[in-house]
Amino acid sequence: MVCNQSEKSNGMINHHWSDCFNDWINSCGLMDYKNPTRSFTWSNNQEQPIMAAIDKVFCTTDFDQHYPLASISAGSRAGSDHVPLILNLGETPKRTNNIFRFEKWWLEREDFHQIVVSCWDAPCSFSKPLDKLQYKIRKGRK
């Protein structure tokens, strides 16, 4: 489906279906992420091709507020009549420290037991059990 005439290279669309599509988008409260790198995302691969922007990415306003730097780019159309759309959430990946590995020699430290007890008994603001466990392990690692 296309939303308007500018989303099809020949401009010929069924206005009834386009209006229905736009009504559905509005009734669901969706926003269309525009693709700034390509006007059209589909081609019929004919000698005189008809192209259209039928591949779309929609989001809710909640999603847009949570990921304000989100953007769309187009991938290579190789092997398909569609252009894949790539969603970038605009977040830089967090660098993780080295993997936690338990060292056997820690057991030989006189204060080992006390360190574990103090980490385990420390107040924790998380409510989910897995989040609590991860917090306590991180605290012990430090």
Q: pLDDT tens-digit profile of 95-106?
A: 666 666 777 888
pTM here?
0.58
Tell me: do 110 and 84 sit in the same domain: no
Who's near 2: CB < 8 A, 6+ residues apart?
A: 8, 13, 18, 21, 52, 53, 54
Q: Does the residue 95 lie in any domain?
A: no
Query: From CA 109, how far away is CA 128, in angstroms rounded?
Result: 31
Q: Quick: pLDDT tens for 50-100.
A: 999 888 999 998 999 899 899 998 888 777 888 889 999 988 766 666 666
Residue 108 and residue 40 in one domain: no
Final residue of a structural domain among 88, 112, 127: 88
Residue 137 structural domain: 104-141
Does the residue 93 lie in any domain? no
- For 18-45, what is each residue's pLDDT tens digit? 999 999 999 999 999 888 888 888 888 8
Do 64 and 116 belong to one domain? no
Alpha helices (H) in the chain, listed in sequence order: 15-27, 61-66, 112-121, 129-141
33 and 3 Cβ atoms separated by less than 8 Å:
no
